[in-house]
């Protein structure tokens, strides 16, 4: 199939509420070598298999024709797939940006290959700089390996490197300012994520939820510069010392849904209009496997966008 030049003008996907969809988050697998007790598993349960690299390429090609120009690869843990570098190499020519979210454990050995294949930036889950707390969260002592992966990503030229820290009351909220200092020291962005009532974390939401609004007000007051991103209207706070902190606050925040620009592809090949819902998926990869036309795949994207709702809850 012909590969387009990234950034060229294409048809746009617009949902019934006027939101442009230009980002696709692809779950490569539900397998993971960590066991974070709050994991939302990308809103999936009981996936039926995984999508092959050539199928992912076909999906991304169709998405690009509809104006999608950003791809995020995730999991489970995407680096557990032996063909993850091939996936990146196949899809990078179609879009402006391919990025990835990983737990970082296997990143040191693959960072440079991923960069050479076309990966531009990476998010690493890094919920604590304390080895005991880190182990409590993920279920194993792997802090050293994840740190090594972060440094390797920087050395290989992935930029920006973001550290995802899910903030939890009574667990790691006391480390926030120390983590800000660490990210400033090594030259990465810290992304503070509000604990969400999803999947395994739903029953304990009240116990662990930490309201990030007061902290965000503090960051704004001290920031040298504030940048507002298109996605979810997330705000990045730039300090004079060079540190960057981004806050992801979906709870009691209508802007989070109002400015969502993303569709998702489940690890078994369904288009998922919203992380929070499982009742409105649209088959996509099954169409390819049944010999459907490219127009049918384009139609699946349009149907998924049509099923989007203004708010998740």
- What does the DSSP assignment read for 17-35? TS-EE-EEEEE--S--S--
Range 122-132 average pLDDT:
97
Q: What is the CATH number of the domain that holds 194?
A: 3.20.20.70
Domain count, the chain: 1
- Write down the pLDDT at residue 207: 87
Q: Per the domain annotation, does 292 fall within a domain? A: yes
Q: Per the domain annotation, does 10 fall within a domain? A: no
**Alpha-carbon distance values, 240 to 214, 215, 262 (Å):** 20, 18, 32
Q: Per the domain annotation, does 1 fall within a domain? A: no
Range 104-132 average pLDDT:
97
pLDDT of 253 over the 70 cut: no
pLDDT of 201 over the 50 cut: no
Segment among 7-16, 230-239, 288-297 with least mean pLDDT: 7-16
Range 47-56 average pLDDT:
91
- Write down the pLDDT at residue 196: 79
Q: Per the domain annotation, does 15 fall within a domain? A: no
Q: Per the domain annotation, does 238 fall within a domain? A: yes
Structural domain that includes position 117: 20-306
| DSSP-H helix ranges across the chain | 53-65, 84-91, 111-117, 131-138, 143-155, 176-186, 205-208, 213-222, 254-258, 285-289, 294-306
Q: Per the domain annotation, does 6 fall within a domain? A: no
Where do we find the tokens 């920031």? 223
pLDDT of 186 over the 50 cut: yes
Taking only the tens place, the pLDDT of each residue in 53-63 is 999 999 999 99
Q: Per the domain annotation, does 5 fall within a domain? A: no
Q: Per the domain annotation, does 12 fall within a domain? A: no
Q: Hey, what are 77's tokens?
A: 């843990």
């Amino acid at each position: 199939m012909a590969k387009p030049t990234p950034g060229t003008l294409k048809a746009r996907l617009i949902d019934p509420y006027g939101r442009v969809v230009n980002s696709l988050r692809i779950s490569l697998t539900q397998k993971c070598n960590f066991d974070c007790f709050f994991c939302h598993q990308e809103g999936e349960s009981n996936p039926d298999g995984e999508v092959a690299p050539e199928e992912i390429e076909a999906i991304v090609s169709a998405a690009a024709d509809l104006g999608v120009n950003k791809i995020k690869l995730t999991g489970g843990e995407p680096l557990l797939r032996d063909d993850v570098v091939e996936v990146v190499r196949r899809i990078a020519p179609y879009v402006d940006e391919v990025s990835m979210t990983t737990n970082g454990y296997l990143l040191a050995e693959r960072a440079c290959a991923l960069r050479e294949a076309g990966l531009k930036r990476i998010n690493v889950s890094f919920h604590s700089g304390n080895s005991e707390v880190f182990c409590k969260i993920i279920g194993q002592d792997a802090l050293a390996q994840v740190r090594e992966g972060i440094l390797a990503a920087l050395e290989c030229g992935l930029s920006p490197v973001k550290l995802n820290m899910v903030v939890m009351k009574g667990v790691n909220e006391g480390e926030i300012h120390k983590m800000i200092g660490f990210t400033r020291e090594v030259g990465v962005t810290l992304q503070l994520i509000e604990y969400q009532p999803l999947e395994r974390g739903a029953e304990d939401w009240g116990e662990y939820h930490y309201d990030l609004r007061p902290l965000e007000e503090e960051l704004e007051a001290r920031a040298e510069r504030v940048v507002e991103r298109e996605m979810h209207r997330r705000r990045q706070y730039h300090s004079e010392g060079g540190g960057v902190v981004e806050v992801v606050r979906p709870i009691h925040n209508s802007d989070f849904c109002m400015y969502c620009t993303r569709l998702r592809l489940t690890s078994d090949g369904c288009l998922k209009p919203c992380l929070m819902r499982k009742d409105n998926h649209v088959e996509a990869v099954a169409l390819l496997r049944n010999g459907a036309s490219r127009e049918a795949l384009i139609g699946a994207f349009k149907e998924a966008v049509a099923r989007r709702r203004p708010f998740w809850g």
